[in-house]
Amino acid sequence: MTKRYQRHDDCTECGDHGRIAARGLCYTCYMRQRRRAAKPNAGRRNNGDTLRVVMSWGDTTWVDDFHARVHRETDPDACWPWMGSLNKGGYGMLWVGGFGLLAHRVAHATATGETECEVVMHTCDNPTCCNPSHLRGGTYKENMADMHEKGRHPNSK
């Protein structure tokens, strides 16, 4: 049976005298180093990659299901709310073949054919809205600038 910790003189990072977990570091310093070294988005797809894959499938019956869950108003300038499930941020979620897709990204992609955009921004600031005229592609930086401009960021006031 092996021991989880070895006894050494001091942690090489903080100098704490006690149990060493690995590489001459105490458990706290070792975990801190692991968190710093880890890539936060390792293994994740870029925005739009999953949507591009799903849209390339031959079977597009899921698009009809998507449109059935969007409540279209008669006024073309009104918001079209998503009537399906929402994520914790309040954005519409659609599950297709085990992949989770954001409803507003699907609405933008089906209307424009554009899946390459980094983010899809709401001009109406309504996270459930799927009206393509209220959506536009952009970058993360543009989205943050828009949020500060409209006073939606906690530190922008």
What is the chain's pLDDT, residue by residue, as a tens digit (157 residues)? 455 555 556 777 777 766 777 777 777 787 777 777 766 666 667 777 888 888 888 888 899 999 999 999 888 899 999 999 999 989 999 999 888 999 999 999 999 988 888 899 999 999 999 999 999 999 999 998 998 888 887 776 5
Token pair of 77, please? 């300038």
Q: How many domains does the chain have?
A: 2
Nearest residue to 48 (alpha-carbon basis) of 90, 101, 3? 101
| pLDDT at residue 14, rounded to an integer | 76
- Could you tell me the pTM of the whole model? 0.70
- Give domain status of residue 117, yes or no: yes
Please state the separation of Cα 124 from the chain's center in Å: 20
Do residues 55 and 114 make contact, with C-beta atoms less than 8 angstroms apart? no
Domain co-membership, 88 together with 55: yes
CA distance 26 to 13: 8
In a domain, 132, yes or no: yes
- The pLDDT of residue 38: 64
**58 occurs within a structural domain:** yes
